[in-house]
């Protein structure tokens, strides 16, 4: 049974529900039973409803016509749009770094993220690997130093993360290929090859389709 403290109840409930979605304790399309969750967490319905409203803004849950709250279930079109949005955001961030001549900062962040990703891969730590893989992709937004660009990327991550985790959990998912793609992207950035970097990013994010 999950328990929470009295401090920042609203935020804690939000994080707990979000983690349940990310950990696939709530599967795609599942209805979230507010009464049962209230009993499990030992809180009133109010902070739960507030947390669900916040998650709905992020796109992780939706309220149906019958006022039930369900975890999102993306169709093929929505999934494709989400994947291409990642490419547009990452490539836009790279373009900004390229134009501002801040790719050295980007490379430093990429090298740090790759080292962590390789470590998780070698240790066969699935959960950590997914997080470190996402951290590498996020370096493009971080390197811009632009908070709005970073916020846009993080908003996409909130929606796309549970799908990526589901993909990584498949027995046939090639995590070694994922790591190799990141290494190729890093090398293209180091070479200053703008077009090659764009093509590799497009291929990388399109693999989710």
Summarised one tens digit per residue, pLDDT across range 136-171 is 999 999 999 999 999 989 888 877 777 777 666 665
Predicted pLDDT of residue 105: 96
Determine what percent of the chain is predicted with pLDDT higher than 70: 90
Distance, CA of 131 to CA of 163 (rounded, Å): 13
Tens digit of pLDDT for each residue in 115-136? 999 999 999 888 888 889 999 9
Residue partners of 173: CB distance under 8 A and separation at least 6: 167
Tens digit of pLDDT for each residue in 191-201? 999 999 999 99
Tens digit of pLDDT for each residue in 41-91? 999 999 999 999 988 888 888 887 777 899 887 777 877 888 899 999 999
CATH assignment of 9-71, among 1.10.10.10, 3.10.20.600, 1.10.3720.10, 3.30.470.20:
1.10.10.10
1-8 average pLDDT score: 59
Determine what percent of the chain is predicted with pLDDT higher than 90: 53
Model confidence, pTM: 0.75
**Would you state the structure tokens that stand for residue 113, as one six-digit string?**
């993220």
Predicted pLDDT of residue 171: 58
Residue partners of 146: CB distance under 8 A and separation at least 6: 93, 96
Task: With a cut of 80, say whether residue 208 has pLDDT above it.
Answer: no
Predicted pLDDT of residue 2: 61
CATH assignment of 76-206, among 3.40.50.300, 3.30.70.2190, 1.20.120.530, 3.30.390.30:
1.20.120.530
Where along the chain do its domains lie? 9-71, 76-206
Average pLDDT, whole number, for the chain?
A: 87
Number of C-beta neighbours around residue 197 at 10 A: 25
Residue partners of 209: CB distance under 8 A and separation at least 6: 79, 80, 83
């Amino acid at each position: 049974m999950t328990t929470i403290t009295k401090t920042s109840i609203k935020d804690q409930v939000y994080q707990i529900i979000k983690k349940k979605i990310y950990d696939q304790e709530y599967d795609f399309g599942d209805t979230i039973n507010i009464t049962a969750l209230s009993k499990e967490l030992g809180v009133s319905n109010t902070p739960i409803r507030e947390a669900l409203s916040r998650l709905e803004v992020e796109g992780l849950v939706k309220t149906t016509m019958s006022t039930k709250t369900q975890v999102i279930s993306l169709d093929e079109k929505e999934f494709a749009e989400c994947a291409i949005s990642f490419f547009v955001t990452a490539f836009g961030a790279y373009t900004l770094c390229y134009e501002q001549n801040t790719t050295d900062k980007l490379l430093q962040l990429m090298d740090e993220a790759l080292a962590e990703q390789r470590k998780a891969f070698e240790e066969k730590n699935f959960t950590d690997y997914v997080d470190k893989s996402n951290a590498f992709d996020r370096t493009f937004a971080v390197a811009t130093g632009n908070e709005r660009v970073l916020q846009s990327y993080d908003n996409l991550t909130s929606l796309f993360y549970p799908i990526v985790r589901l993909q990584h959990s498949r027995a046939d998912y090639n995590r070694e290929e994922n790591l190799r793609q990141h290494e190729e992207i890093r090398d293209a950035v180091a070479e200053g090859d703008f077009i090659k970097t764009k093509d590799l990013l497009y291929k990388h994010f399109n693999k989710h389709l």
